[in-house]
Amino acid sequence: MNKLQKHLQSIRDIINSPRITTFIQIGSNVGDKYIFDLIIEKKINLVIFIDANINALQECKKNQENYFLNKKITWDIKFDYINCAISNINAPKINLNIPTGHTNSAHGSIFEDFPTLNTKKGFESIEVDNFSINDIFNEYKLKVIDYLFVDVEGCDKGIVNSLRLDNNLILNLKFEFAHWEGWQGYDSPNLRNVIFVLLMNKYKVYQSSATDISADRILNWKENYKE
């Protein structure tokens, strides 16, 4: 068995061993039914919803509780809600800008010049705690993350670039790419570099929506290789 085979085998051993399955959504806003459906379908054990907008996060909690109220849950499951910003900016606090009059807006951003904030009514700023994605992984002592979804209005680029793929095994990654260079995410050289890095780390990378990139970790390289 060569070095690559040993590495892939060690990954498969981790995945196949008894462990807590994890779903993390950064920028959960008020919650989405398709996310709740996925949690049930995959029988996720630990669900972490993160949003810098406390009002949206509280609404997400209500929507999650209502959705799961009459569902038959036959496995251990825990929901955590974290009110903070996640970014690659080295600061304990950061301002979140929320479009005026839209308390639960999904377009709040830490960037004042973010495109969707340029409305006639302007925006309101609130100070929130700020952490890196690696702070979250370390806090929960996570080495394997089954699902990591990122949609944070301009911070996606910094978060994805700060992922340590050699330290944390992320099985399924989804992130918004449309705002990586203002509205020019489609032409971002940095995005192309990230895609290349994911490919070289044995991910199947594809555009899963008009604004999202998904990357699924290939655990059996031979079965996914076609001449």
Task: Report pLDDT for 106.
Answer: 78
Which tens digit of pLDDT belongs to each residue from 168-217?
A: 999 999 999 988 876 666 778 899 999 999 999 999 999 999 899 999 99
Is the pLDDT reported for residue 122 higher than 50? yes
User: Which of 11-20, 138-147, 161-170 is predicted least confidently?
Assistant: 11-20
Those residues whose C-beta lies under 8 Å from the C-beta of residue 67, and which sit 6 or more positions away, are 31, 33, 36
Domains of the chain, with CATH numbers? 3-88+133-217 (3.40.50.150)
Is the pLDDT reported for residue 62 higher than 90? yes
84 neighbors 131 (Cβ within 8 angstroms): yes
Which tens digit of pLDDT belongs to each residue from 71-94?
A: 999 999 999 999 999 999 999 999
User: Which of 12-26, 51-65, 134-148 is predicted least confidently?
Assistant: 12-26
**Whole-prediction pTM value?**
0.88
Query: 139-152: string of b/e by CB count within 10 Å (b at 16+)?
Result: eeebebbbbbbbbb
**Among 133, 129, 213, 126, residue whose Cα is nearest residue 172:** 213
